[in-house]
Structure 1
Amino acid sequence: MEERKPILHELYVFSEWKPEPEYLQKPDNILPENLSALWRWLKFFGPKKSLLDSVSAFKENQQKWHIALGDEGKVIAVLTDNILEIRTKRSEYATIAARTTVNRDAYPQWRKVVWSPDCSFVAVAYGNGVVSFFDLTASNLFNIPIDCNRPGGLECTDNTHAVADIIFMPLRVKDNKWNWEVLIVTYDGALRAFLVSATEGCSLQHTFRFAGGVAAVAHSAAQDTLYVAGVPRGSLIHMK
């Protein structure tokens, strides 16, 4: 029987991000212990939360920071509380290739970071639904606001229009003016398609609304099909 020899594994830590401390104030409990227990029992037998409430609670418990890989890990984008960093495999992610500051988000768990297939764009969706496009130098190229009719113009202060996914698609009609077609789908069921370019910005092409909202969405390039979860009637939309 062969003797088992120990194998030494070496783990490299190229970068480490430390979150800023959060100071939480514990509320004073004004109810006696027996009344608190009674209140918990009343809540248990009371109305149950909807699925949307459960999904929201799950999202709120996720990490606030986001990491997106581009071109199978050749580039990464790290979004912390108010910093967007871009690092490359060329330096083994040890050095910062580009960095910029972003606004702090009241709903950081609802943010989303997506690379374009050619890594020329990194899109950052904030919790309120605004989507910002950056290049490899972390320069803010343009912003896509949300279609919000609330007071205050285009900038909503809640997560009503939070983005479910950002999908980069090849142009259906070849045009040297534009680089990609981008689908922005929000949880409230809105789909907007834009043509985007580093020099021309963005141009709205068409809109669509899924009845009942959207829980998740995925695009299959091979079948040119958009799969949508959470729509009461029909589970997929064929995009041609």
Structure 2
Amino acid sequence: MAAADSGPTLNPGTAESEEETILYDLLVTTEWPPETEVQPRGNRKYGASFIITKAIRDHLLFFRQYIWYSPAPFLLPDGLVRLVNKQINWHLVLASNGKLLAAVQDQCVEIRSAKDDFTSVIGKCQVPKDPKPQWRRVAWSYDCTLLAYAESTGTVRLFDLMGSELFVISPASSFAGDLSYAIAGLIFLEYKGSAQWSAELLVINYRGELRSYLVSVGTNQSYQESHSFSFSSYYPHGINTAVYHPGHRLLLVGGCETAEVGVSKASSCGLSAWRVLSGSPYYKQVTNGGDRVTAVPKTLGLLRMLNVKFYSRQGHEQDGVFKMSLSPDGSLLATIHFSGKLSIWAVPSLKQQGSWDQNEQVRLLGIITLSSVSSCSTHFIC
């Protein structure tokens, strides 16, 4: 029998070059035109009564803040302020189920659904114009039925899926222009203590002050403060970010690095884990593998504050955790630091699995596959 004719041979180099030249179409689903500011009726903004009222109010605020009561300024880390101010004003926040998208604009928050590829708006939340829009924060509830919106002043507004404002939670204290009262962590927890409440909302500002609120929607629409907690003993310079791991009931907190001896690698990098408890003290720091993690004494906290000033005078910026993201299976935590360093940690042990400085990262933007440090291949978007 004659041998069958062999098919055309492919040159591997040619096939590879052809694959590299494939072009993909990017479809524009939605475009947002610039928002126009709504002027008050009659343009009263520049009326005589407005000018007189503003002059009296500004003088009273100045007297209260700088003469009658002058609080000590809370200095946020230079790296945090620099990176947050470089962010764009708008935010896109996807719900945990991947079916809802919150598009945070200057004066509204659009809620879009995946049913029509996020082309139509199912709800629109009206919000006041924020003088520091980069410092706003938005979070979805665990069941994706509520949306929390935090202003740079620390004020939190709660909306439903139709965009209706349910209620406004004012901060316990705040001063104009003080960004330490802005929200570093806005987290919904499932609440099972009573059928009266729909969810628990954790509000954590950059000072490290946490307040828990129980929220109820529907017929008995209301909220009440549940408890408060402070991370200041552990983070004298405040916190930078926080995420929640529902599987382990862990609150993962990121702050500035420390040079203390006898602490774990995670603690030295500014990372800590806190078990969420049902009763007082409500949060307990988790230590594993004999890590010696102790509260920072006030005297040591003062020395560390002076150390930060010394760093800034010498031109060396103190590093710290800027952003955190959990892997889809919750087994790994990725952290981005002020310096651009990328670190991967195991959860819940917080054992470091890998760390790459900015000059060591092959691609600053892209997908980093970490199959060598995990039993399953996990992808993080940097």
Report if TM-score (shorter chain) is over 0.5.
yes
Which residue of 208, 211, 214 corresponds with 2:229? 208
Other-structure match for 1:162: 182
Q: Which whole-Å CA distance do the structure 1 matches of 2:76 and 2:223 have between them?
A: 35
Which residue of 132, 137, 141 corresponds with 1:116? 141
Q: Which whole-Å CA distance do the structure 1 matches of 2:32 and 2:99 have between them?
A: 20
- Once the two structures are TM-superposed, the CA of residue 54 in structure 1 deviates from its matched residue by 2.1
Matches within 5 A, 1:138-217: 138-148=163-173, 150=175, 156-173=176-193, 175-199=194-218, 200-211=221-232, 212=236, 213-217=238-242
Q: Return the structure number with greater helix share.
A: 2
Gap regions ≥5 residues in structure 1: 22-49, 151-155
Per-residue deviation, residues 167-186 of structure 1 (Å, max 9, x unmatched): 1111141x221111111111
Other-structure match for 2:124: 99
Q: Could you tell me which amino acid in structure 1 is paired with residue 80 of structure 2? A: V
SS state at 2:87 partner: coil
Matches within 5 A, 1:58-137: 58-137=83-162
Per-residue deviation, residues 87-140 of structure 1 (Å, max 9, x unmatched): 101121111111132111011001011111211101111111111010000000
Q: Which whole-Å CA distance do the structure 1 matches of 2:35 and 2:24 have between them?
A: 31
Gap regions ≥5 residues in structure 2: 1-8, 37-74, 278-382
The answer to whether structure 1 residue 237 and structure 2 residue 270 are counterparts is no
Q: Which whole-Å CA distance do the structure 2 matches of 1:8 and 1:225 have between them?
A: 43
SS state at 2:181 partner: coil
- Once the two structures are TM-superposed, the CA of residue 10 in structure 1 deviates from its matched residue by 2.7
Q: Could you tell me which amino acid in structure 2 is paired with residue 203 of structure 1? A: Q
TM-score by length of 2: 0.50
- Are the equivalent residues in 1 in contact too, given 2:181–2:207 (CA < 8 A)? yes
Q: CA RMSD in A?
A: 2.4
- Are the equivalent residues in 1 in contact too, given 2:142–2:190 (CA < 8 A)? no
Per-residue deviation, residues 16-59 of structure 1 (Å, max 9, x unmatched): 124469xxxxxxxxxxxxxxxxxxxxxxxxxxxx8702210110
> Structure 2 vs 1, CA of residues 149 and 217 (structure 1 numbering), >3 Å: closer, same or farther?
closer
Other-structure match for 1:39: none
Other-structure match for 2:246: 221
- Are the equivalent residues in 1 in contact too, given 2:97–2:144 (CA < 8 A)? no
Q: Which whole-Å CA distance do the structure 1 matches of 2:224 and 2:200 have between them?
A: 9
The answer to whether structure 1 residue 15 and structure 2 residue 15 are counterparts is no
Per-residue deviation, residues 63-108 of structure 1 (Å, max 9, x unmatched): 1101111133201010111121111011211111111321110110
The size of the alignment, in residue pairs, is 206
SS state at 1:160 partner: helix
- Once the two structures are TM-superposed, the CA of residue 195 in structure 1 deviates from its matched residue by 0.7
Q: Which whole-Å CA distance do the structure 1 matches of 2:241 and 2:177 have between them?
A: 23
Q: Tell me which of the two structures has the higher relative contact order, counting C-alpha pairs closer than 8 angstroms and 6 or more residues apart.
A: 1
Q: Which whole-Å CA distance do the structure 2 matches of 1:135 and 1:229 have between them?
A: 30
Q: Could you tell me which amino acid in structure 2 is paired with residue 237 of structure 1? A: W
Q: Compare 131-140 and 51-60 and name the one that shifted more.
A: 51-60
TM-score by length of 1: 0.78
Q: Could you tell me which amino acid in structure 2 is paired with residue 160 of structure 1? A: S
SS state at 2:24 partner: coil
Percent identity between the aligned chains?
Answer: 32
Q: Which whole-Å CA distance do the structure 2 matches of 1:51 and 1:124 have between them?
A: 22
